[in-house]
């Protein structure tokens, strides 16, 4: 039996996708072999890659001015690699809104040491976004880096809140890409680890303005050079074929559903859970300012932390997976990615209400 999965990532995948992958696991498209067992240079796999890219382009209305790259090493490797590709010896601005944007900044600082903090919300313990007037941009910065959804702190920058700035915006969208429509043309580069809304781990997606290709210094290894990856269709070496295949199935699933329908479901799920927390009379707490609460990752705490172990034990008994909070902040967290159904969130909210009635 499949349980209600609120894990932060690798996370729940649509059951229809898992069933389809199961059905063709041993014999992919009558090839007599699994998709994992065929050459990445075969016409069959090329079609898989093209289909994944085309479906992504359609879902996010990505224009031909942007390249789509499929790479490995996770979003974390991109923290360094994007600095190697985009800095061109100049400094870069970072807005720090939580654990992941801080990691991106620290990694970029090691690459030439010219990353600079344009604003941070550390003094608020990352429970609010920096105010517009507190952001000090360097107009000569090579790019501005944002993490538009902080998976650990549960803070989201809604795409419509992003103002236009003189430099390209580079956004880590790992934990909310494809949860809603986004105007890609606002960004110089978007990147995301696949293991939340796209597919299995082992794959990282990059959407980059083609004008920004070719800026990497000669010393940057081919496998990390966006221009060379683009020229070689993300296949300088063997790509993670199975992850790309599953990503293609997930993207197709999302296309059938409709990104607008997905966005509305995600809004409903978040609204249900935040209401349960806010209407618990303080039994549950989420400290993030309402205007920037994440619709994908909802961290929460019990007022009485001595109940933590019991809450976790009972949640597991109720078939609710993955609610333990990130080690750096403690408490609990429910991740409400695309493959988590409204019904699963209702089960979670009912469980939380029942638990607070019994222990409040």
By the rule CB under 6 A, 151 interacts with ligand PMP? yes
| Contact (Cβ atoms closer than 8 angstroms) between residue 277 and residue 160 | no
By the rule CB under 6 A, 335 interacts with ligand PMP? no
Q: Are strands 4-5 and 320-321 parallel, antiparallel or unpaired?
A: parallel
By the rule CB under 6 A, 76 interacts with ligand PMP? yes
**Stretch of 137-145, 167-175, 238-246, 268-276 lying at the interface with ligand PMP (CB under 6 A):** 167-175
By the rule CB under 6 A, 100 interacts with ligand PMP? yes
- Distance, CA of 98 to CA of 120 (rounded, Å): 8
Peptide bond between residue 10 and the one before it cis (omega within 30 degrees of 0): yes
For residue 9, the minimal CB distance to ligand PMP (Å) is 5
**Stretch of 20-28, 74-82, 221-229, 249-257 lying at the interface with ligand PMP (CB under 6 A):** 74-82
By the rule CB under 6 A, 338 interacts with ligand PMP? no
- Distance, CA of 77 to CA of 226 (rounded, Å): 13
**Stretch of 45-53, 168-176, 266-274, 310-318 lying at the interface with ligand PMP (CB under 6 A):** 168-176
Instruction: Report the sign of the C-alpha dihedral through residues 275, 178, 141, 87, in that order.
Output: positive
By the rule CB under 6 A, 9 interacts with ligand PMP? yes
**Stretch of 82-90, 172-180, 236-244, 310-318 lying at the interface with ligand PMP (CB under 6 A):** 172-180
Q: 93 or 172, CB closer to ligand PMP?
A: 172
- Distance, CA of 102 to CA of 117 (rounded, Å): 9
Radius of gyration over every alpha carbon of the chain, rounded to an integer in angstroms: 21
Tokens linked to 322:
């993955």
For residue 67, which of 47, 87, 52, 53 has the smallest C-alpha distance?
A: 53
DSSP letter (8 states) at residue 340: S
Residue 100 designated active-site: yes
Residue 75 main-chain phi, psi, to 5 deg: -60, -30
- Distance, CA of 163 to CA of 158 (rounded, Å): 11
DSSP alpha helix (H) spans, the chain: 15-23, 43-60, 74-86, 99-110, 226-231, 241-257, 259-278, 308-317, 342-359
Pick from 7, 55, 97, 175 the residue near ligand PMP by CB under 6 A. Answer: 175
Q: 76 or 127, CB closer to ligand PMP?
A: 76
Catalytic, out of 64, 110, 138, 172: 172
By the rule CB under 6 A, 193 interacts with ligand PMP? yes
Q: 100 or 242, CB closer to ligand PMP?
A: 100
**Stretch of 69-77, 80-88, 220-228, 240-248 lying at the interface with ligand PMP (CB under 6 A):** 69-77
Catalytic, out of 3, 65, 93, 100: 100
| Residue 189, Cβ density class (10 Å: 0-12 exposed, 13-18 middle, ≥19 buried) | buried
Q: 9 or 168, CB closer to ligand PMP?
A: 9
By the rule CB under 6 A, 74 interacts with ligand PMP? yes
By the rule CB under 6 A, 147 interacts with ligand PMP? yes
Number of residues that bind ligand PMP (CB under 6 A): 11
Residues at the site binding ligand PMP, with contacts judged by CB under 6 A: 9, 74-76, 100, 147, 151, 172, 174-175, 193
Q: Which residues are identified as catalytic?
A: 100, 172, 196
């Amino acid at each position: 039996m499949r349980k209600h999965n609120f894990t932060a990532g690798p996370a729940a995948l649509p059951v229809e996708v898992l069933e389809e992958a199961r059905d063709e696991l041993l014999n992919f498209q009558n090839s007599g072999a699994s998709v994992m067992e065929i050459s990445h240079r075969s016409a069959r796999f090329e079609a898989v890659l093209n289909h994944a890219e085309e479906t992504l382009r359609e879902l996010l209305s990505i224009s031909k001015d942007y390249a789509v790259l499929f790479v490995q090493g996770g979003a974390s490797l991109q923290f360094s690699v994007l600095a190697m590709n985009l800095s061109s010896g100049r400094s870069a601005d970072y807005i720090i809104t939580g654990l992941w944007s801080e990691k991106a900044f620290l990694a970029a600082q090691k690459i030439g040491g010219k990353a600079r903090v344009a604003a941070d919300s550390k003094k608020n313990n990352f429970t609010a976004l920096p105010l517009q007037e507190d952001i000090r941009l360097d107009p000569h910065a090579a790019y501005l880096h944002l993490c538009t959804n902080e998976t650990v702190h549960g803070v989201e920058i809604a795409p419509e809140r992003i103002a236009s700035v003189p430099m390209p915006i580079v956004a880590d969208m790992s934990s909310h890409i494809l949860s809603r429509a986004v105007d890609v043309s606002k960004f110089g580069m978007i990147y995301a680890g696949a293991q939340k809304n796209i597919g299995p781990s082992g794959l990282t997606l990059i959407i980059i303005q083609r004008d920004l290709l070719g800026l990497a210094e000669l010393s940057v290894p081919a496998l990390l050079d966006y221009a060379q990856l683009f020229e070689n269709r993300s296949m300088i070496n063997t790509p993670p074929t199975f992850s790309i295949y599953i990503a293609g199935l997930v993207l197709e699933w999302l296309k059938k559903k409709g990104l607008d329908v997905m966005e509305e479901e995600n809004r409903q799920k978040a609204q249900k859970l935040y209401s349960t927390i806010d209407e618990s009379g303080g039994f549950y707490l989420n400290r993030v300012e309402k205007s920037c609460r994440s619709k994908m990752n909802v961290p929460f705490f019990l007022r009485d932390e001595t109940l933590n172990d019991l809450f976790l034990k009972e949640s597991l008994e109720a078939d609710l997976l993955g609610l333990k909070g990130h080690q750096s902040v403690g408490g609990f967290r429910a991740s409400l990615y695309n493959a988590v159904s409204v019904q699963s969130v209702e089960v979670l909210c009912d469980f939380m209400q029942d638990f607070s009635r019994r222990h409040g």
